[in-house]
């Protein structure tokens, strides 16, 4: 209360910067800025509110300069408000302090309360959930007005601060910031000088702008890693999908009621016969990666402790350095390197952040010793320190500590179940991926709605790329396992995700033997890039369809992907982006006649032709389907 405007300063800024990896080779950062300096006479305190306004959106943040009367303080609440002009259509998931692994709802703003109330008990089925309000939602929040205006609300550069949600006053249609608390309800501990994260709004009458404008990245600081030569976009496969589906296990034995690190003797235990991370199985994946041009092989369940890793709030879960008896870490890394492939490390923390930080240096030193350059981290379950949430200030600082420590060891990080990204990958580009949303694994747990992957680019991907783990060809899991679930896309819909769901880290997630059955379709995964010089969004509508064309880094080759939701459609791909006077060998991977994600998911056809600039491709997309196109310059 009682703040007075002391002064204001305005300025303009225009730069073009080059990301280490990304959808485009360069990004323009052009804005007008206003800093409003406020003074509170009653306490003699100063605060600055800084605004940056772009052609396509804006950001604001609160800045607290160091001062005698405001040095250390605790945040009770943050009351940033976003007032809606009408009962807009919202594409949303419930506000939750621990997970984003939800399917998106599409309702008017006034419909949020009824949906959360109806499903509140069902939301508890995840490993760790904390839905805090009947009208709370998570960012990035996508909205659409009745007259066709698209609005997106998010945050950027969330550092040393809790993750922001939005809570709706559904009578007055006003969203207010809702910060994730710590274990005793406090929102944040601050020492000045300090800047909050940016609160961001994008606005356009063209849905494609929601996907192409880089507001979140631009509001982060430039790269802090001097030598980035060791950071590289990666295609990988791995020992993972079998465990998710249920035909293999992470654990080595069924003999143990519990495990105690440094005490349990696995040499005396009988193998369970279903362990996935065996020497033989890992070598099979290495051979497959080497044969098909994949750079790395992820191996989950390689280390001791999986027998009782989950659900016990156990502090000392893993040490991240001790392999099971049937995983020869030196032999397997030597074998991989001899074939031009690397193994990708897996560190599931079981949400014991305290334990992970104690072992972090030893774990990264082991990776350096054996030539690992990437790690997939995981945070399944309730956080230790007990009572903390996945998105609290303390845990956000933990994730950042892991990223910065990994950078010192020249290790790339792919964090699962961590906080949602807010563009920090610009500053720390060794953060090559996050999960932080409902990924492909849920296709084995009952499925994702067909429009899920044409919703995520408008929401979750606003803050950074997602390791969605696409590429499932055998979509009916009961054909090869006891799992009754099915993947809610067609086979060509899976191919489209390598373009639609942008990431510099892309997995060929299915089993090698499944890809061998559909080798002609797998050719697209062999060919497609995962780093780009240019990207052009050709068609887009939230939850309905996305069509995007991308130019592979350092080449003249283009790839196009289109994905649809619950309704079949015909995509119109105008090849105006191709070089004039040049011909391209075009391969179109598309849903065949009669394809359908429920009834005929594996029906596809591949069409080869020669195309040039100005040609138009009209491609039928099945319900839940999609297409992929490679355009190789002649």
Catalytic residues: 441
Cα–Cα distance for residue pair 284/496, rounded to 1 Å: 27
Comparing CA positions, the residue from 510, 527, 511 lying closest to residue 470 is: 510
Tokens representing 7? 């002064």
Cα–Cα distance for residue pair 229/214, rounded to 1 Å: 23
Strand order in the sheet with 164-169: 81-83, 174-179, 164-169, 136-138
Comparing CA positions, the residue from 125, 115, 100, 129 lying closest to residue 438 is: 100
Cα–Cα distance for residue pair 439/451, rounded to 1 Å: 13
Instruction: Write the CB contacts of 432 (distance below 8 Å, at least 6 apart in sequence).
Output: 21, 231, 233, 234, 374, 412, 413, 414, 425, 465, 503, 504, 505
Residue identified by tokens 């003249």 is 556
Cα–Cα distance for residue pair 408/271, rounded to 1 Å: 37
Do residues 604 and 592 make contact, with C-beta atoms less than 8 angstroms apart?
Answer: yes
Instruction: Write the CB contacts of 261 (distance below 8 Å, at least 6 apart in sequence).
Output: 304, 305, 316, 317, 318, 319, 322
Comparing CA positions, the residue from 65, 26, 476 lying closest to residue 214 is: 26
Question: 509-532 in b/e burial notation, b at 16+ Cβ within 10 A?
Answer: bbbbebbeeeeebbbbbebbbbbb
Cα–Cα distance for residue pair 565/555, rounded to 1 Å: 31
Cα–Cα distance for residue pair 286/290, rounded to 1 Å: 6
């Amino acid at each position: 209360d009682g703040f007075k405007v002391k002064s204001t300063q305005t300025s303009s800024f225009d730069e073009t910067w080059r990301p280490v990896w990304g959808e485009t080779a360069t990004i323009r950062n052009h804005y007008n800025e206003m800093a409003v300096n406020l003074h509170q006479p009653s306490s003699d305190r100063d605060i600055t509110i800084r605004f940056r306004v772009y052609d396509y959106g804006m950001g604001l943040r609160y800045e607290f300069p160091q001062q005698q009367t405001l040095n250390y303080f605790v945040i009770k609440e943050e009351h940033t408000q976003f007032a809606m002009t009408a009962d807009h259509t919202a594409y949303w998931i419930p506000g939750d302090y621990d997970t984003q692994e939800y399917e998106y709802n599409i309702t008017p703003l006034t419909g949020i309360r009824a949906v959360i109330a109806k499903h509140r008990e069902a939301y508890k089925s995840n490993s760790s959930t904390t839905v805090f309000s009947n009208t709370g939602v998570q960012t990035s929040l996508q909205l659409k007005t009745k007259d066709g205006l698209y609005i997106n609300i998010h945050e950027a550069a969330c550092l040393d601060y809790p993750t922001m949600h939005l809570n709706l006053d559904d009578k007055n249609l006003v969203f207010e910031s809702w910060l994730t608390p710590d274990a005793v309800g406090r929102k944040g501990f601050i020492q000045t000088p300090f800047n909050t994260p940016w609160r961001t709004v994008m606005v356009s009458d063209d849905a494609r702008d929601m996907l192409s404008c880089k507001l979140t990245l631009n509001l982060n600081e430039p790269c802090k890693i001097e030598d980035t030569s060791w950071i590289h976009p990666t295609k990988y496969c791995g020992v993972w999908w079998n465990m998710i589906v249920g035909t293999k296990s992470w654990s080595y034995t069924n003999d143990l009621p519990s495990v105690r690190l440094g005490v349990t003797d696995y040499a005396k235990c009988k193998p369970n016969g279903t362990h996935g991370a065996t020497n033989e199985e890992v070598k099979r994946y290495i051979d497959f990666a080497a044969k098909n041009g994949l750079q790395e092989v992820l191996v989950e369940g390689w280390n001791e402790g999986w027998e009782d890793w989950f659900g016990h709030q156990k502090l000392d879960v893993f040490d991240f350095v001790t392999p099971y008896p049937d995983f020869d870490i030196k032999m397997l890394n030597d074998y991989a390197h001899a074939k031009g492939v690397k193994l990708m490390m897996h560190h599931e923390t079981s949400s014991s952040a305290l334990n992970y930080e104690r072992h972090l240096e030893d774990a990264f030193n082991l990776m350096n010793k054996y030539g690992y350059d990437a790690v997939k981290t995981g945070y399944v379950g309730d956080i230790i320190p007990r009572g903390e949430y996945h998105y609290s200030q303390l845990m956000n600082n933990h994730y950042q500590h892991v990223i910065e420590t990994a950078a010192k060891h020249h290790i790339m990080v792919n964090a699962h179940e961590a906080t949602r990204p807010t563009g920090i990958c610009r500053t720390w580009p060794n953060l090559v991926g996050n999960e932080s949303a409902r990924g492909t694994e849920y296709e084995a747990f009952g499925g994702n709605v067909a429009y899920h992957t044409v919703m995520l680019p408008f929401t979750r991907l606003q803050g950074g790329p997602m390791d969605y783990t696409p590429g499932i060809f055998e979509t009916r899991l009961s054909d090869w396992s006891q799992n009754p679930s099915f993947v809610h896309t067609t086979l060509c819909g899976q191919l489209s995700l390598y373009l639609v769901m942008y990431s510099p880290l892309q997995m060929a997630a299915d089993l090698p033997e499944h890809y061998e059955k559909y080798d002609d379709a797998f050719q697209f995964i062999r060919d497609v890039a995962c780093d780009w010089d240019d990207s052009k969004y050709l068609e887009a509508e939230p939850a309905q369809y996305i069509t995007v064309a991308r130019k592979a880094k350092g080449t003249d080759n283009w790839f196009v992907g289109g994905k649809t939701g619950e309704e079949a459609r015909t995509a119109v791909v105008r090849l105006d982006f191709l070089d004039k006077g040049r011909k391209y060998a075009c391969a179109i991977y598309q849903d065949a006649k009669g394809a359908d994600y429920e009834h005929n998911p594996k029906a596809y056809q591949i069409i080869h032709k020669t195309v040039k600039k100005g040609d138009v491709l009209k491609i039928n997309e099945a319900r839940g389907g999609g297409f992929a196109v490679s355009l190789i310059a002649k």
